[in-house]
Amino acid sequence: MSGRPPFYITTPIYYVNDSPHIGHAYTTLACDVTARFKRLDGFDVKFLTGTDEHGQKVEKSAHARGMDPQAFTDMVSKNFFDLAKALNFSNDDFIRTTEARHVTSCQALWDELIKRDEIYLGSYAGWYAVRDEAFYGENELTVGTDGVRRAPSGAEVEWVEEPSYFFRLSQWGDRLLAFYDSHPDFIAPDSRRNEVISFVKSGLTDLSVSRTTFSWGVPVPGDDEHIMYVWLDALTNYITAVGYPNTQDGQYATHWPADLHMVGKDIVRFHAIYWPAFLMGAGLEPPKRVFAHGWWTNEGQKISKSLGNVIDPLALVETYGLDQVRYFLMREVPFGNDGDFSHRAMVNRMNGELANDLGNLAQRVLSMIGKNCGGAVPTPGPFSPEDTALLAQAHGLLGQVRDALDRQAFHEALETIWVVIRAANAYVDHQAPWALRKTDPDRMATVLYVLAETIRHVAILMQPVVPDSAARMLDQLALDAETRGFETLGEGGALVPGTPLPKPQGIFPRYVDPETEA
């Protein structure tokens, strides 16, 4: 691993009071695509996901089922663990906040904050939403016709009075604003950055960081009457996983601060305000970047349990195929914006882009090589300006895709690749190698070589998004595992004429609606 630049990327840890849905899959997929890309680009990647298992909501849910909270979290955490496997996520670690390593880390962070006088004991009285595990000010609440006060999220709030430890968040406003100013890329996209800065400028109050009215959580060191506020506990997972409190060597020294925390827009406040304040309060570095993505709707409707339209990612995979779902989620909307899932949009992407544009390109080119070039990589002659232009486009892809992914612009990265795919399809039609077979077989060989080289570049760069399909495409080009990294892109890793190729097979079948099959 030595000599490779480190890259640490995290998902939020998912709350086990919920079943895995499209939102969980979306965030983790974005991290997986980034992690796979960075590994291929020569980085020493650590990719973390996991489950958030403490808090009042979990305790209530466990008791409602007549279960011990630990048994309940064991059961539900496994659903998220299994989802990561089913969607072919390449995470290096899966953390659970009930693990001993995490309790040790949380208590060490607490002790450091106490030592630095960032936490003090007081008492709390205010509005608390169990569903959000968050406190709200009176000015943030709305009162419905039923007389029930609700948080901005729609969750019911209750009045809570209890002894509590507080984090001195009120003293961090100016320091956070200065940090945002000196680290303009810390929060993205800009809409979320503006929202966070506005919130901090409106004034911060000290944050209650312990509870006494329930017991399912990390005990406060030296005061067993209190457990840690679930968000202090949950956020700490990111440093637990790199070995905190050992900051001198090992993974913490290598990989912290994290390069990227990927989160949903509903939890940006916790990650962009509370978390850097906790870390700086303990003398630790904040992460380099927090990116908050948007939400999905289902056929134009807001997703909710009450409407019964929650999207199960496993059901999507069953219906459309794994790589097809991965591609659609990364391609359909600009990451950071809200997006709508619809069957029609899914099928349009599958059939128009994967089956027609990419799948058909690979199939027709490799079939022509199989039939007309003895089933081996053809030997090219001199390149024409058209050949050189297409190869130059293919060779230029890596820098453009890298730039887009470093900005979390997944749709833009894919569109960049599709520009070359569309150019290759136009080149096939214009060069007409099927006609050259009779009139100029040497020129046909050159054209098919140029196309095979273009397909090689596309397949290598598509590995992070559609790993299984890209692997099959690279298999059909007879490329072994050592020749699929980004260092092989360009002329240096070009296909060797005469290399035998296996018989080509279709990779992206067209989707046909079951009811239209006769």
Q: CA–CA separation, 474 vs 480, rounded Å?
A: 8
Tokens of 279: 């870390």
Task: Name which residue leads in pLDDT, 16 or 170.
Answer: 170
Question: Whose structure tokens read 């990612």?
Answer: 313
**Tens-place pLDDT, residues 301-345:** 665 665 666 678 898 999 999 999 999 999 988 787 887 788 999
Answer left, alpha or beta for residue 376, where phi above 0 means left and psi between -120 and 50 means alpha: beta
The region of weakest confidence among 237-246, 300-309, 452-461, 466-475 is: 300-309
Tokens of 454: 């273009």
Average pLDDT in the 16-21 region? 77
**Tens-place pLDDT, residues 347-380:** 999 999 999 999 999 999 999 999 999 999 999 9
Q: Helix 410-431 crosses helix 397-406 at what angle (to 10 degrees)?
A: 160
Gap between the terminal Cα atoms of the chain: 55
Q: CA–CA separation, 339 vs 296, rounded Å?
A: 5
Evaluate whether 355 touches 509 at the Cβ level (below 8 Å): yes
Sequence-ordered list of residues with C-beta below 8 angstroms from that of 436, at least 6 positions apart, any chain: 443, 444, 447
**Tens-place pLDDT, residues 194-214:** 999 999 999 999 999 999 989
pLDDT above 50: residue 518: no
Count of CB atoms situated within 10 Å of the CB of 93: 15
- What is the maximal distance between C-alpha atoms in the chain? 89
- The predicted pLDDT at position 303 comes to 55
- The predicted pLDDT at position 513 comes to 85
DSSP per position, 213-276: S---SPEETTEEEEEE-HHHHHHTHHHHTTTTT--SSHHHHHHPSPSEEEEEGGGHHIIIIIHH
Q: CA–CA separation, 180 vs 187, rounded Å?
A: 8
Average pLDDT in the 376-391 region? 98
Sequence-ordered list of residues with C-beta below 8 angstroms from that of 302, at least 6 positions apart, any chain: none
Average pLDDT in the 238-262 region? 96
Mean pLDDT of the chain: 93
Domains of the chain, with CATH numbers?
Answer: 342-493 (1.10.730.10)
Collect contacts of 359-364 with beta carbons under 8 A, ≥24 apart.
359/506, 359/507, 359/508, 359/509, 360/425, 361/421, 361/424, 361/425, 361/428, 361/451, 361/455, 362/455, 362/459, 362/473, 362/476, 362/504, 362/507, 363/504, 363/506, 363/507, 364/428
What percent of the chain is helix, strand and coil (3-state, nearest 5)?
50, 15, 35
- The predicted pLDDT at position 153 comes to 87
Q: pLDDT exceeding 70 applies to what percent of the chain?
A: 96
* Torsion angle in degrees (nearest 10) through CA of 434, 438, 444, 448: 40
